[in-house]
Amino acid sequence: MHAPSLNTSPPLKHDRYRKCAEKMPTDEAYGVLLVSFSRHSHQRNFVSLYRQHPRTRIVAVADDDDTIDEDLRRLNRIWAQQLGVPYVTSVEEALRRADVAIVSIGHDIERRSELAQLAAAAGKHLWIDKFLGATLSECDLVVDAVAACGVTAMVPSYGYGSLLRQARPILASGRLGQLLGCHVDLHFAKGLPRHIDNHSIRFLGGDTGEWKYPELKRELLTTGSYSVGLLQTCLGRTRRIHGTGGGFFFPEHAQRGADDFACLTLVDEDGHLGTLSAGRVGLGSHPAGGPCRAWLVGSDATAIIDAKRPAAQAYLHSDLLDLTRPPAANDPMGWATGPPTLHPPADDDPAGLATALEEFVTALDGGPELQYTVSHARDNMEILLAGYQAIATQQELHLPLSRQAPLS
């Protein structure tokens, strides 16, 4: 089992990155600043974690009011009112608060790199919702800023979920022999598949760095990133990528050529294979909200891990559809709501957020370093961007990607 090597970007030289984070006394709670409640983020899911953990407390909500739409301004204020904390209309002003130790970034992907750099420069520790930035260069800037400022940065989504927590001890046990490869199926049973009239729209690649659309999410990016996190843990550094995509279940995606399902094949530096299928596959397609399963193939044995066990399932399609019929008018694809399920999760922390927060606080107290760092998250994004280019060009792609050349 290999961990990806760290990014080797040259250190930042700007004066604003010279301030380093201070260690907090271990008997005090860490003040958390919630930056934005974009509906393209999981900020709403983090709130209960911060409120329940004895070492974290929410002190304010903030956003740059002059740069966001009225719906987000209203949503930010509603959350601040419900939490009983002030709403600060300037992120830079909020970062000057002495009671802020952790900045929880839940803004649109296009804003996250800038905000993470500002927070690091202010000496604040970071909790970043999934993607560091919209492009590889934006991700590099976050990695550099974290290193230069000496802050701790957590990206909780990829390295702490139930599937990966079950895979780690199996890999460490040696019972599989030499790991030859692995496969991950992770799908979200959300959205209503419908007939698609136009099948000639060109697949939308990932070279523009534009990911936000009012009516859709890019599903290889949104869903496939979790699977990439597991493959990063199992394999060495990815060197080659093949991709297939362009089949659609949802008209919202098809009319833009945006992916709602895709498959990737990764080949690491030692020739080991990692494969994944990822996407949004429709309401009623799985009784536990969508399959989440991995196959670890070794020279001596193969392990199958099912995070939505039991693996053998029988259910009535109509029972699931009845749970959410009709879907919420303001959330037809289920971005801000979980999929309908007929039974509770087998794991009490399926997404691993509570596990991640405990590790984060321990690291802030001077404990072991994080298992999944911003450098790993940066490499996760590189793999996904390469996958998009491989699908769009129908060619095998080699990593690392050039930092100078555009992804086109």
Whether 15-154 and 162-349+386-390 share one fold: the answer is no
Dmax over CA atoms of the chain, in Å, equals 61
pLDDT of 260-293, one tens digit each? 899 999 999 999 999 999 998 888 788 888 899 9
pLDDT of residue 9: 33
Fold of 162-349+386-390: Dihydrodipicolinate Reductase; domain 2 (3.30.360)
Strand partners, 264: 243, 276
Helix axes 136-149, 374-393, angle to 10 degrees: 170
CATH architecture entry for 15-154: 3-Layer(aba) Sandwich (3.40)
Sequence-distant (6+) residues with CB within 8 A of 307 are: 161, 162, 163, 166, 292, 293, 346, 347, 350
Residue found under tokens 């992804």: 407
pLDDT of 74-106, one tens digit each? 999 999 999 999 999 999 999 999 999 999 999
pLDDT of 295-325, one tens digit each? 999 999 999 999 987 655 666 667 666 766 6
Q: Is 35 helix (H, G, I), strand (E, B) or coil?
A: strand
Beta strands in 224-359 (DSSP E): 238-245, 261-268, 273-280, 292-298, 302-306
Residues of the chain under the 70 pLDDT cut: 1-26, 199, 206-209, 310-317, 319-321, 323-336, 344, 403-408
What are the residue boundaries of the structural domains of the chain, listed by start? 15-154, 162-349+386-390
